[in-house]
Amino acid sequence: MGFDLGDRHIASPVLLAPLAGITDLPFRTLVSRFGAGLVVSEMIASGEFLTARPGTREKAELGAAIENTSVQIAGREPEPMAEAARMVADMGARVIDINMGCPAKKVTGGYSGSALMRTPDHALRLIEAVAGAVDLPVTLKTRLGWDDDARNAPDLARMAEGAGVRMVVIHGRTRCQFYKGEADWAAIRAVRDAVTIPVVANGDITSPASARTALDLSGAAGVMIGRGAQGAPWRLAQVAAELYGGSAPIVPEGPDFVRLVADHHEVMLSFYGTALGTRVARKHLGWYMDRVATPSDLRRCILTAPAPDAVRSLLSDALDRPPIDGPERLAA
């Protein structure tokens, strides 16, 4: 079970995907507490990082040196990417991931993220620059291609391996699909067949059942879960237990679930400060309430409450309820 990433062994090949504005340090820490082979930070734009734009440097400083954390960087020019990689390494990072999969227009419009799949020779120069700048394992996250007429992920993965990349994560959609339709896990097999390094499948993996199907169709060495962990930080551990054995996580319900959410809320407030933390916490609170079908009026009160004390006073009424699908089972 698992695979090697340079001199590091990933014992549980179930990884947390980087999600902008979601996989911050408080959430990554919570997921890791249940169990995760590797968690990936929110994307850091190399240019903004080097010029110390507020908010970017903190993303790398806070949590970069944690044992099972990978720091993801993005950019469009080799030199800033290499310098950002060196700076992140100096901060104690253990793994550096290159983003060539983000479909957002504000990213691809700057010729970063998945836009780099349209210029594979230039993408290779970025990969070579990062891999040559640090002694850490460097990984790559990308998509099947820009569109259905240019599914060049196998070629890009082959070039990346030659440049020193140690693992490739493939989201089973093209950039032009964004998040529409269904992830094509079977198409990831062509990438697996093109390289000797581990390939990890990503996209629409939300449960042990979907993870098993993704592995069967793709032949991948592991899976990466993103949206499936929203409101369910135990999901990675749940998938790992079902697929690879070991102890299943205890999924909190009733008062235990209330305590987990209250603790997460408090950590976010401490991490960001009260004003920003209150805003950031709302999305997580919404996902937690989705799990137990909190009544709409109570949900509205929590998401519009102006003060943390008001939120905390309502959590028990909002969350001490049975999950809408009943107790979570590993085969769910």
Catalytic residue among 81, 95, 102, 140: 102
Active-site annotation holds for 176: no
Could you write out the three-class secondary structure of the chain? Answer: CCEEECCEEECCCEEECCCCCCCCHHHHHHHHHHCCCEEECCCEEHHHHHCCCCCHHHHHHCCCCCCCEEEEEECCCHHHHHHHHHHHHHCCCCEEEEEECCCCHHHHCCCCHHHHHHCHHHHHHHHHHHHHHCCCCEEEEEECCCCCCCCCHHHHHHHHHHHCCCEEEEECCCHHHCCCCCCCHHHHHHHHHHCCCCEEEECCCCCHHHHHHHHHHHCCCEEEECHHHCCCCCHHHHHHHHHHCCCCCCCCCCHHHHHHHHHHHHHHHHHHCHHHHHHHHHHHHHHHHHHHCCCHHHHHHHHHCCCHHHHHHHHHHHHCCCCCCCCCCCCC
- Residue 172 assigned to a binding site: no
- Residue 72 assigned to a binding site: yes
- Residue 230 assigned to a binding site: no
Active site amino acids: 102
**Residue ranges at the known binding site for FMN:** 72, 141, 171, 226-227
Annotated binding-site residues read: 72, 141, 171, 226-227
